[in-house]
Structure 1
Amino acid sequence: MKKYRILLLLSLTVTLALTGCGKDKEKDAEIKETPAPVESTAPAPEESDSSNTEQAKSDEPPEEGMVRSAMTNDWISPETASARPIAVMFPTDKGSQPQYGIGSAGVLYECMEEGEMSRQMGVIEQWQDLKQIGNIRSGRDYYVYWSQEWDAFYIHWGGPFYLREMVDRSDVDNLSAASVGVPGNSSPALGSEAFYRSDPKNPTIHNGYTNGEKLTAAISALGYETAHREKYYQPDHFTFATVSEPNTLEGAPGVFDAKKIDFSKIFTTTKTSLEYNEEEGVYYKSLYGQPQIDKLTDKQLTFDNVIVQSTYWDYRQDNKYLRFTVKDTTSDGYYFTRGKGIHITWKKTSDNEPTKYYDDNGNEIVLNTGKTFIGIAQNGREIIYE
């Protein structure tokens, strides 16, 4: 097995760093602040309507009028393409597994928070019919910036004090089960009616959920725009290869084999990993050495594209809460697909601008149709592959 250290590329011109939160305060925000309605029973698990099917992966639309998804390049309806997705905060704790609806995410981000624990954010296009989504945990402000790239509704269960400034911005539409940054505050949070506890008598950090029907009603009640807002949304996010001529990375600068991708030096608690399935052409994702499952489908999470985004980070003044730079033009990472990998750089210069990724020749990378996993790595931590 070969180890490759992600290059540490820093710049004095980096303009913005964002942060994480402390575990004790997080529990206060998520357990004590429980204004969300509760239900005695959770909806029965039901298979989700995933667009990532063999029919969707074709150069010809399966039905007249269908268009390409900016997120996955799958064929979707014009109504889905014009509608705003949701960006949901999913935990990685052992006790929170398995989760519902996470497999429907076209893009899944994973990044460290405090206490050497990572957290995930799933961006989901076709969410309206999902019968159960979660469990859901608290937000972090750097995740909000990534959700803004997709003009998504940000879905979370409260969050630390520094999240307040971000979710109060006029361009951010969020729904939260708990008030942000005020431990013990029982006042209703924005959109809290969309959330429930699967066991209302035992409000733990692992049993908070929502669903498509509740989110639809809450979004309507809040008066949020449901169609993509032209002022904030840039659909030119990823560049995709055609289905008939996928990107095999053959001839790419510095290409190498990568059948196994090991994040254990980056996500030290979960030891996130992905393994390539040659027959299916996708990477299967695991946590704690076990398959990561979506309970709605009982299927393991798979990805056609894997991006490692090396990112400058530091601590806030209390030396406890993490900050991550989301806007930069100097940092690097890796791109993996079809059992191969290359070194890349990434750029993002404004809040709603998509993050762009480039190979070592300066060309924008070309993704394959399907889902993408983006692992945000702290500069100086290794990605391991073989």
Structure 2
Amino acid sequence: MRQLLHFDKTSSIIGTSTESTDTTKTADKIPGNYVRRHLDGVYVDPKDADYYPVAVMIDNDPNARPQAGLAQAQIVYEALMEGNITRFMAIFATASSTLPEIGPVRSARPYFVDWAQGYNALYAHVGGSPEALTELKMTAMYNINEFYQGKYFWRSHERLAPHNVLSSGENFYNYLNNLNVRSVNYRSWQYKDETAETHCQASACQNIDINYNNPLFAVSWQYDSEQNQYRRLMASSQHNDADGTPIAAKNVIVLKVPSQIVDAELRRHMQNIGAGKAWYCLDGACLEGSWKKASAREREVIYDDKDKEVKFNAGTTWIEVVQYDGSINVSNF
């Protein structure tokens, strides 16, 4: 379905980034005409299912914490930058007034541009590496750069520069609305209904630890059996949004992607086009499989060990990108 982008402050959604989407609890509340949202599989009114996605580069320097709006994203990628720090790309299903602050917004890198192209999203950033900016010029994907479209961003006096550039869902809506763009087609993943029978049992439940070789960026995903979701810890502490909202995910995916340092600034090239090993975690259990991304313009798809596409739980998905098998540790609790 293709439609004109519109701004609806009263859109109806069953399940959000911070709510349980367990159909054992919500099935009786889902109107019969509702459909799964293209980006995350959450049941919504059909008019809300196909908005233009917005991908925002978000800072993860310790001086940038806590981030704003990260807990409300539907998809989040985390990958290494130069200097063994990580950066996020948060993808939102819609530009909305319920996102008064998003950021701090930071610069583009080419591998994030590749991932954003898989959604044909509006890509929001503050400058970027030469390779990333060249790639953005060559792609048909819309991008909004604070260097040239500064009126859609502001700099907070309560944060240290350069970790102080913020924007909002309404600003991104206004940008897209001025372009009069239509919603776009991209591949949706497959989603399943949640039932208590699919959840892990007692000691079989698993947590996930991600080692980015820097204790300030150490990540843990701890399974919450009551909500059937994972709570995110960073540097051994609960990772909360600026408004205090704990960051959580229904699905956690780890992609193994080879990487090389390419210049004196220690910038990276990631071989994120093609295929590789993946781990996918949902319902308290982690399994090995693979990822495949045929081109920059196609979204990667996750497959199980029998090469069958994985069906995920509806709701927020975090995608952690690592270079080595030893960067991920899965443990029972």
Residue in 2 aligned with 1:156? 125
**What are structure 2's unaligned runs of at least 5 residues?**
1-12
1:291 matched residue in structure 2 = 238
Q: Tell me, yes or no, if structure 1 residue 51 matches structure 2 residue 20.
A: no
The one-letter code matched in structure 2 to 1:84 is Y
Question: 8 Å contact 1:358–1:364 — kept in the other structure?
Answer: yes
- Tell me: higher relative CO, structure 1 or 2? Use CA pairs within 8 A at least 6 residues apart: 1
Equivalent AA in structure 2 for residue 141 of structure 1: P
Query: Does the aligned pair in 1 maintain the 2:216–2:234 contact within 8 Å?
Result: no
Distance, in Å, in 2 between the alignment partners of 1:142 and 1:224 is: 28
Q: Residues 110, 149 of structure 1: CA spacing in aligned structure 2 closer, same or farther, 3 A cutoff?
A: same
Question: Which 10-residue stretch deviates more, 168-177 or 376-385?
Answer: 376-385
1:227 is matched with which residue? 183
Please, what TM-score do these two structures have when normalized by structure 1?
A: 0.74
The residue type paired with residue 210 of structure 2 is F
Q: CA–CA distance in 1 between the matches of 2:212 and 2:125?
A: 27
Larger radius of gyration: 1
Q: Deviations over 1:113-154 (max 9, x none)?
A: 000000011111133211111111111111111112222110
SS at match of 2:311: coil
Number of residue pairs matched? 313
Q: Is residue 226 of structure 2 the alignment partner of residue 274 of structure 1? A: no
Deviations 1:4-55 (A, max 9, x none): xxxxxxxxxxxxxxxxxxxxxxxxxxxxxxxxxxxxxxxxxxxxx9734457
Higher helix share: 2
TM-superposed CA distance for 1:234, in Å, is 2.4
2:154 alignment partner in structure 1: 196
Q: How does 1:123-202 map to 2 (within 5 A)?
A: 123-129=91-97, 130-178=99-147, 189=148, 191-199=149-157
2:5 aligns with none
Q: 1:328 aligns to what?
A: 274
Q: Conserved in 2, the CA contact under 8 Å of 1:99 and 1:134?
A: yes
Q: CA deviation at 1:92?
A: 1.4
CA RMSD, Structure 1 to Structure 2 (Å): 2.5
Query: Counterpart of 1:146 in 2: which secondary structure?
Result: helix
Does structure 1 residue 81 correspond to structure 2 residue 26?
A: no
Change (3 A) 1:203 1:303: closer
Unaligned stretches of 5+ in structure 1? 1-48, 179-188, 251-255
Structure 1: 4+ residue segments shifted above 6 A: none
Query: Does the aligned pair in 1 maintain the 2:20–2:227 contact within 8 Å?
Result: no
TM-score (norm 2): 0.85
**Following TM superposition, by how much is the alpha carbon of 1:326 offset from its aligned partner in structure 2, in angstroms?**
1.4
> Contact conserved, 2:22 with 2:193, CA < 8 A, in 1?
no
Letter paired with 1:241:
K
Q: Is the 8 A contact 1:116 1:267 kept in 2?
A: yes
Distance 2:180 2:128 in 1: 21
How far the C-alpha of 1:283 sits from its partner, in A, is: 0.5
